[in-house]
């Protein structure tokens, strides 16, 4: 099995082969074709399984395939990745940047505990992909530095930890701001009743990986 045979574009397998990855991990083998088809996905995966590349690579490709921006004006924000902690947000944002290095997409990351203004400046320039922790994302919504009305792909990474950390109300606020019609990917290491409830309300006919 190779990254090419999963249907990934040349710019993406070039980036992964430069990272030294030769073969996709099991979750990548399952998740990448599913996400490329545009399906919702519920992934049971811990860190260390390669799940970040498993959602980031096909997410980048979907954004390329559906890019209708004419180059004029600010690029609309089309993909949002929510993570529970700033460490994970920074890590996912690094992956987005590295895997997308040969693509003309822009991304940034926002999390709390640091000054909001530099984040605002980056958002105002226009990005395709935003990686965020829920609280700081809502601060940006409140200050109108981010518009969630064009989101095509939403990823909830480590959803169980987000619920454990008490982010359910913030997540619900975010869900109310993104379009109803979108592709949603939810990753969780554990599947409590609360996660199942969240997934049931959010995912449409998801593939289980």
What does the binding site for ligand AMP look like in residue numbers (CB under 6 A)?
21, 23-25, 28, 47-53
Which C-beta is closer to ligand AMP: that of 45 or that of 138? 45
With CB atoms as reference, the residue minimizing the distance to ligand AMP is 52
Q: In the complex, what is the shortest distance from the CB of residue 87 to ligand AMP, in angstroms, rounded to a whole number?
A: 11
DSSP per-residue letters across the chain: --TGGGT--HHHHHHHHHTT--S--HHHHHHHHHHHTT--EEEE--TTSSHHHHHHHHHHHHHHHT----SSSPPPP-EEEE-SSHHHHHHHHHHHHHHTTTS---EEEE-SSS-SHHHHHHHHH--SEEEE-HHHHHHHHHTTS---TT--EEEETTHHHHHHTT-HHHHHHHHHHS-SSSEEEEEES---HHHHHHHHHH-SSPEE-
CA dihedral sign, ordered 43, 46, 50, 53: positive
Q: In the complex, what is the shortest distance from the CB of residue 7 to ligand AMP, in angstroms, rounded to a whole number?
A: 15
Q: In the complex, what is the shortest distance from the CB of residue 194 to ligand AMP, in angstroms, rounded to a whole number?
A: 23
Which C-beta is closer to ligand AMP: that of 26 or that of 76? 26
Q: In the complex, what is the shortest distance from the CB of residue 151 to ligand AMP, in angstroms, rounded to a whole number?
A: 22
Q: In the complex, what is the shortest distance from the CB of residue 16 to ligand AMP, in angstroms, rounded to a whole number?
A: 7
Which C-beta is closer to ligand AMP: that of 175 or that of 189? 189
Which C-beta is closer to ligand AMP: that of 148 or that of 159? 159
Which C-beta is closer to ligand AMP: that of 28 or that of 108? 28
């Amino acid at each position: 099995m190779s990254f090419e045979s999963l249907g990934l574009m040349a710019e993406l397998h070039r980036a992964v082969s430069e990272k030294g990855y030769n073969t996709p991990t099991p979750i990548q083998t399952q998740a990448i074709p599913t996400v490329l088809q545009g399906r919702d996905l519920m992934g049971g995966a811990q860190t260390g399984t390669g799940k970040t590349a498993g959602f980031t690579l096909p997410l980048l490709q979907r954004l390329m395939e559906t890019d209708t921006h004419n180059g004029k004006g600010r690029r609309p924000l089309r993909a949002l990745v929510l993570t529970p902690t700033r460490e994970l947000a920074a890590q996912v944002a690094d992956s987005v940047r590295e895997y997308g290095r040969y693509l003309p997409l822009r991304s940034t990351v926002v999390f709390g505990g640091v000054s909001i203004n530099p984040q605002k400046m980056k958002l105002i320039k226009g990005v395709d992909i935003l990686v965020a922790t829920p609280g700081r994302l809502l601060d940006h919504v409140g200050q109108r530095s981010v518009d969630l009305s064009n989101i095509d792909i939403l990823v909830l990474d480590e959803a169980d930890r987000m619920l454990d950390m008490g982010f359910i109300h913030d997540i619900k606020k975010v869900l109310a701001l993104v379009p109803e019609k979108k592709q949603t990917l939810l990753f969780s290491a554990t599947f409590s009743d609360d996660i199942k409830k969240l997934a049931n309300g959010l995912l449409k006919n998801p593939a289980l990986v």
